[in-house]
Amino acid sequence: MEAPLLMLPPLHLYSPGALKTPDMTSATTAHHRSNSTVVSPNLSAEELIQHVEGSPGRGRQKTRVPVVDHVRPAPKDPIASVGEAFQADASPNKINLGVGAYRDEEGKPVVLRCVRNAEAKVAGSEFLESISTLANSRLVEESIKLVYGKDTDVIGEGRLAGIQTLSGTGACRLFAEFQRRFYPRSKVYFPDPTWSNHHSIWKDAEVPQGTFSYYNPKSKGLNFPALIDDIKNAPESSFFLFHPCAHNPTGVDPTEEEWREISYHLKVKNHFPFFDMAYQGFSSGDLDRDARAIRTFLQDGHLIGCAQSFAKNMGLYGHRVGCLSILCTDTMQALAVKSQLQQIARAMYGSPPIHGVLLVSTILGDPDTKALWVEELRAMVNRICKMREALQESLEKLGSPLNWEHITNQVGMFCFSGLTPQQIEQLQREYHIYMTADGRISMAGVTMSNMDYLANAIHEVTKSGQES
């Protein structure tokens, strides 16, 4: 019987060294023998070149080293492919509703004033090698305060193991590898639906995965009874991934009371909650309010994992700044967990670039700059809320036979529209409007200048009354 996850068993229980990668040698060798001449592994570089290109004075030989012959194109990323199609479209009316980053009223990326202020403060300092460790520590410390609260006891108790990561994706990948190494028989459950990359991240870490009920297509809200049933029916000591606010892609968040009930049932089954916090502040405009779900679990005595990203709420998408933290039972366990996370990170990428770290740690650590950030974050949220209201109102004025209240009921950057794949394809083909195939609309891509065109296009493809 496995040790309960909430007890976080000693790390030596599952030795990473005992986990072996499947031996592909025989399969690879067989493939090579069936496709080309076998090449001795003892050839020098010069001999290898000569073998491939032929001896001097002789024609180029057909014999080659079959290193990548078997590689086939990977499936296109569902989000990236939307952007590629949009870029290839020459229409002046085209609209990109697939982008997952904030855009201003003109549809352009934004560099926040707080970022410019931080840039001025740290100018040149990224060349000082001595500040790297200090900046990383400061980033982790300030990030943890955002999630758990600046006055929480767990910070002073030293129970949090935190490490800087390559944005939220890197944080998830590190945790997935941590789970594989030390809980190899455990399974992770994702909400259905979730950010598509979650499945890829844990799949690459070779962690078994499943889903739990989340979205109700009929109500375009939360399927809460089914969610609770899935928590109850999952094997004890499973891992559950949650979006603590601004759920991607649905924009549907549990209420405070629902979060408390979710926390209770996870505790009963000894499940481990892992939160992917990619949009803190984008749900309500209030950083503390958007962290309330995690703090509920903290109050209920859970041990917690959390991935954070500053790509969206600071407009630093290209800087890849994030944090992974794991709440442990005591200081000794936190030190052990942190050392393991550092070892995993070192094997993957060493350490992240310093510039983005300096920007984020400066914004979070300087009271005036942080206050400016909060003000700008609130302004971004207010604009998105206004776009939600305007889009719903525009569709209703056009006499749409459908109920569009979910546009304003949902929160965060995205609206889960309810459009069918056929309607989405028609929007792209006839109106040059691009979104992901599941009907997710990035409200950041909606502006007052494209509002009428967008609403009319949606009305035209949905006026028959069909919806998914």
- Here the tokens at position 161 are 């193991």
Average pLDDT over residues 274-287: 96
Res 229: pLDDT: 98
**Residue percentage of the chain with pLDDT more than 70:** 83
**Residue 110 to residues 72, 73, 100, 282, 362, Cα–Cα distance (Å):** 37, 34, 13, 15, 19
pLDDT tier at 13 (50, 70, 90 boundaries)?
A: very low
Per-residue model confidence (pLDDT) at position 3? 43
Statement: residue 30 has pLDDT above 50: no
| Alpha-carbon gap, residue 239 to 305, rounded angstroms | 10
Average pLDDT over residues 235-250: 97
Residue tagged active-site, from 312, 338, 370, 404: 312
State residue 23's pLDDT score.
Answer: 44
Q: Is 243 exposed, middle or buried (0-12, 13-18, 19+ CB in 10 A)?
A: buried
Under the banding of pLDDT at 50, 70 and 90, the label for residue 439 is very high
Give residue-wise pLDDT tens across range 180-236. Answer: 999 999 999 999 999 999 999 999 999 999 999 999 999 999 999 999 999 999 999
Burial class, 413, CB count within 10 angstroms (exposed 0-12 / middle 13-18 / buried 19+): buried
- Residue (of 421, 416, 427, 418) closest to 461 by Cα position: 427
276 has catalytic annotation: yes
Average pLDDT over residues 280-291: 96
Question: Could you tell me where the beta strands, DSSP code E, fall in 244-286?
Answer: 272-277
pLDDT exceeds cutoff 80 at 434: yes
pLDDT higher than threshold 70 for residue 31: no
Least confident of 39-48, 96-105, 263-272, 386-395: 39-48
Mean pLDDT of the chain: 87
Give first-to-last CA distance, the chain, whole Å.
43
Q: Which of 195, 259, 373, 404 is catalytic?
A: 195
| The pLDDT value given to residue 24 | 40
C-alpha 394/C-alpha 389 separation (Å) is 9
Residue 7 above 80 pLDDT?
no
pLDDT on residue 51: 53
Please give the helix or strand (H or E) that residue 239 lies within, else none: strand 239-242
Q: What percent of the chain has pLDDT over 90?
A: 71
For 116-151, write each residue's pLDDT tens digit.
Answer: 999 999 886 666 655 566 778 889 999 999 999 988
Q: What is the pLDDT of residue 43?
A: 54
Choosing from 276, 290, 370, 404, which is the catalytic residue?
276
For residue 44, name the pLDDT band (cuts at 50, 70, 90). Answer: low
Q: What is the mean pLDDT of residues 100-104?
A: 88
Q: Which amino acid belongs to residue 320?
A: R
pLDDT of 17 > 70? The answer is no
